[in-house]
Amino acid sequence: MANGWAQDGAVQDQIEDTVQDAVKHARARLAGGQGTRFCEDCGEEIPKARREAQPSSRTCIPCQIERDGAVRVSGINRRGSKDSQLR
């Protein structure tokens, strides 16, 4: 069922586009190449289990959690219809 001027399935298309953008953003943030034995942020040794699970890791888990918390994600407002602008 269409909503105003939107085509059938437009809401699902918006959801799929948003998910695809999030996946692309997450993949772009993945570290590549060879990892290090010592954390780039605090200098502590990265546990062997982490280095084996994520060979490209460059930070220890606590420092990576801190880095992840500092990331601000901004995206495209896909709800740009006239109705949503009037609310």
pLDDT digits 0-9 by tens, 56-79: 899 999 999 998 887 666 666 666
Look at the chain and report how many structural domains it folds into: 1
Q: What is the tens place of the pLDDT at every residue in 17-27?
A: 889 988 888 78
Q: Determine, yes or no, domain membership for 55.
A: yes
Q: Determine, yes or no, domain membership for 44.
A: yes
pTM of the model: 0.51
Q: Determine, yes or no, domain membership for 39.
A: yes
Q: Determine, yes or no, domain membership for 51.
A: yes
Q: Determine, yes or no, domain membership for 21.
A: no
Q: Determine, yes or no, domain membership for 11.
A: no
Q: Determine, yes or no, domain membership for 28.
A: no
Q: What is the pLDDT of residue 74?
A: 64
Q: What is the mean pLDDT of the chain?
A: 79
Higher pLDDT, 24 or 87: 24
As a whole number of angstroms, the distance between CA 39 and CA 31 comes to: 13
Which residues are CB-neighbours of 5 under 8 A, at least 6 positions away? 81
Q: Determine, yes or no, domain membership for 48.
A: yes
Range of the domain at 44: 34-70
Looking from the CA of 77 toward its CB, the CA atoms found within 13 Å total 6
Q: What is the mean pLDDT of residues 26-53?
A: 88
